[in-house]
């Protein structure tokens, strides 16, 4: 029979159907109604505890005795209960154990907006995130199966919208679960240092097994649509995305969110040039998905240094002209010596490379580091007003001269891993970055080759590159006002706050087409194209 239930009511129903025997909680909106509804069911013991720590401890005790147990609290309550939770993660599960953390994005009834998904990662436990009332029932039941299969506490992460919104559910009968009779096993249940040290290895092995479960979990599913927009989302954020985009996007909907199914995410992501991770509060999933987030970008002296400012924020530090590669070399070694898992990317222009960058790259090649060195070859000395250099093929008088090829010089210095790429081709750039980040032990060089858009093009430039400067235009009917194009930092792009649409100043556009490539709905095209 189908019923209209809130998420809190559905959690209570899921506990009943899962055969849970013991439930404890401290009231706090938006989780309060869970235990109030648990108390209405026969066959489940329910109690209000003096605080969340006591509720967690009492439920842990019930689990250790051999029955399925449960605790509920709002997100700040987990702060109070964190002591027993983190330690219980090291101990053995007897009866299945799950608890609800009810987060409150928007602070409807809370003093802060903390994201308790981080607790799952810190405590190395499993986590589910339902998006509607039916999933509240289904994921609660699955939580107990996972808890007992993998010997792990399970967090059910709720949010205010899911707790208090109603949707239809299919109720089923209670499945009675035989208790696991208690037997003394101090080596698994006594949290003293000598035992916990051994249990740490068990926890790490368990997390690897949970990663395998995440890949096959039936609640991590792909929803296919005929589109090129990819969305990864969970919980209420998934419903927000569905409401906004409907069948205009292809979704990877996640119900099991820690550990994340990284292989499934990678396979899903390979289908898109643009992928959006939609979530409330912290970039919890985004930071795990974007492996390159923890990257240090070292700049140099040149016009490209402007990319260090918002919105690109493409530079963390710089020292002096021609220093980027040698600073990156020392930085990389320092990270390794201090066991910091970060990658270093260093950028400099072609004229700076000929000035002193060759010496810096010599150090990288000769002494060895895993620095990623990028040479921005715009075929001119752009910073000081477009003077020729050894890489342009012309001397100060504009006469033909020996062209010193950057790639040839780089290879001559002993760098084995070198690629030249058009920086305006975002797909090719992504492939190149995937290639270079996969190399963790040797130096590598990327040469981005495209003439400066402000230079007077030489006949060689015109022969080698497609220099079409036809400006781009925005189709206002297609534009959804997402502002993705503005993230490129292009000065030609504008956003109308009244119409909530983007537009392009024709006089400022150089026709690079980067905005065309990032637009998720193909609302941008070259002027005159259909």
pLDDT in tens, 371-386: 999 999 999 998 899 9
pLDDT at 440 over 60: yes
pLDDT computed for residue 227 by the predictor: 67
User: 414 in helix, strand or coil?
Assistant: coil
pLDDT in tens, 61-82: 999 999 999 999 999 999 999 9
- Taking the C-alpha atoms of residue 299 and residue 226, their distance in angstroms, rounded to an integer, is 41
pLDDT at 342 over 80: yes
pLDDT computed for residue 530 by the predictor: 63
Q: Calculate mean pLDDT across residues 40-54.
A: 96
Q: List the CATH code of the domain at 472-526.
A: 3.30.70.20
pLDDT at 328 over 90: yes
What residues does each domain of the chain span? Answer: 2-216, 220-289, 291-464, 472-526
Q: List the CATH code of the domain at 220-289.
A: 3.40.50.920
pLDDT computed for residue 232 by the predictor: 93
Mapped to the 3 state alphabet, what secondary structure does 22-91 carry? Answer: EEEECCCCCCHHHHHHHCCCCCCEEEECCCHHHHHHHHHHHHHHCCCEEEEEEHHHHHHHHHHHHHHCCC
Closest by CA to 200, choosing from 212, 188, 209, 182, is 188
Most confident of 36-50, 333-347, 433-447: 36-50
pLDDT at 1 over 80: no
Backbone angles phi, psi at 376, to 5 degrees: -95, 95
User: 491 in helix, strand or coil?
Assistant: coil
- Taking the C-alpha atoms of residue 245 and residue 242, their distance in angstroms, rounded to an integer, is 5
What does pLDDT average to over the chain?
91
Beta bridge partners of 501: 496
Tokens 């210095």 sit on residue: 413
pLDDT at 228 over 90: no
Of 76-85, 109-118, 306-315, give the lowest mean pLDDT range.
306-315
Q: Calculate mean pLDDT across residues 353-380.
A: 95
pLDDT at 476 over 80: yes
Taking domain 2-216, whether its CATH number is 3.40.50.970 is answered by yes
Residue 462: CA count within 13 A, CB half-sphere: 4
pLDDT in tens, 243-268: 988 888 889 999 999 999 988 888 88
| Alpha-carbon distance values, 94 to 101, 181, 207 (Å) | 22, 8, 18
| Cis ω before 30 (30° cut-off from 0) | yes
pLDDT in tens, 192-222: 888 888 888 999 999 999 999 999 999 999 8
Fold equal for 220-289 and 291-464:
yes
Q: Calculate mean pLDDT across residues 101-126.
A: 93
What 8-state DSSP symbol labels residue 470? P
pLDDT computed for residue 59 by the predictor: 95
Residues 6+ apart with CB under 8 A from 9: 33, 37, 133
Beta bridge partners of 8: none
- Taking the C-alpha atoms of residue 146 and residue 437, their distance in angstroms, rounded to an integer, is 34
DSSP string, 341-374: --EEEEEEEHHHIIIIIHHHHHHHHHH----EEE
pTM, 2 dp: 0.61
What top-level class would CATH report for the domain 291-464? Answer: alpha beta
pLDDT at 292 over 60: no
Is residue 239 within 8 A of residue 231, CB to CB? The reply is: no
pLDDT grade for 306, boundaries at 50, 70 and 90: confident
């Amino acid at each position: 029979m189908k019923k209209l239930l809130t998420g809190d009511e559905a959690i209570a129903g899921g506990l009943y159907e899962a055969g849970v025997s013991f439930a404890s909680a401290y009231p706090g909106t938006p989780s309060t109604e869970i235990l109030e509804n648990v108390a209405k069911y026969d066959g489940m013991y329910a109690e209000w505890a003096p605080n969340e720590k006591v509720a967690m401890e009492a439920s842990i005790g019930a689990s250790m005795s051999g029955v399925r147990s449960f605790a509920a609290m709002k997100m700040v309550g987990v702060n109070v209960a964190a002591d027993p939770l983190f330690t219980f993660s090291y101990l053995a599960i007897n009866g299945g154990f799950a608890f609800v953390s009810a987060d409150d994005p928007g602070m409807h009834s809370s003093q802060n907006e903390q994201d308790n998904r981080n607790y799952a990662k810190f405590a190395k436990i499993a986590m589910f995130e339902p998006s509607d009332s039916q999933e509240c029932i289904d994921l609660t039941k699955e939580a107990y199966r996972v808890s007992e299969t993998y010997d792990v506490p399970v967090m059910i992460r709720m949010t205010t919208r899911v707790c208090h919104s109603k949707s239809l559910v299919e109720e089923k009968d209670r499945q009675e679960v035989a208790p696991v009779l208690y037997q003394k096993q101090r080596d698994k249940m006594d949290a003293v240092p000598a035992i916990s040290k051994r249990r740490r290895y068990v926890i790490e092995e368990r997390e690897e097994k949970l990663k395998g479960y995440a890949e096959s979990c039936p609640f991590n599913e792909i929803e296919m649509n005929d589109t090129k927009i990819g969305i990864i989302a969970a919980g209420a954020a998934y419903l927000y995305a569905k409401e906004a985009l409907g069948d205009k996007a292809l979704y990877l909907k996640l119900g099991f969110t820690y550990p994340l199914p990284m292989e499934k995410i990678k396979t899903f992501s390979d289908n898109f040039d643009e992928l959006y991770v939609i979530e409330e509060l912290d970039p919890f999933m985004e930071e795990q998905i974007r492996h390159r987030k923890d990257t240090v970008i070292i700049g140099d002296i040149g016009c490209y240094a402007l990319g260090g400012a918002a919105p690109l924020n493409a530079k963390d530090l710089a020292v002096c002209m021609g220093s980027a590669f040698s600073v990156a070399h020392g930085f990389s070694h320092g990270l390794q010596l201090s066991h910091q898992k970060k990658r270093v990317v260093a950028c400099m222009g072609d004229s700076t490379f000929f000035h002193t960058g060759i010496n810096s790259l010599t150090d990288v090649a000769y002494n060895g580091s895993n620095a990623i060195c990028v040479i921005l070859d715009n075929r001119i000395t752009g910073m000081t007003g477009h003077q020729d250099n050894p890489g342009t093929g012309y001397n100060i008088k504009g006469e033909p001269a020996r062209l010193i090829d950057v790639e040839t010089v780089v290879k001559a210095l002993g760098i084995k891993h070198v690629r030249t790429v058009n920086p305006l081709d975002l797909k090719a750039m992504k492939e190149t970055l995937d290639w270079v980040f996969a190399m963790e032990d040797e130096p590598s060089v990327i040469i981005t080759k495209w003439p400066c858009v402000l230079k007077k093009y030489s006949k060689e430039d015109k022969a080698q590159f497609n220099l079409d400067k036809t400006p781009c235009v925005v189709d206002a009917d297609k534009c959804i006002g997402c502002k993705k194009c503005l993230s490129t930092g292009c000065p030609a792009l504008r956003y109308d706050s009244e119409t909530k649409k983007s537009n392009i100043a024709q006089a400022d556009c150089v026709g690079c087409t980067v905005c065309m490539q990032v637009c998720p709905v193909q609302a941008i095209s070259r002027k005159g194209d259909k």
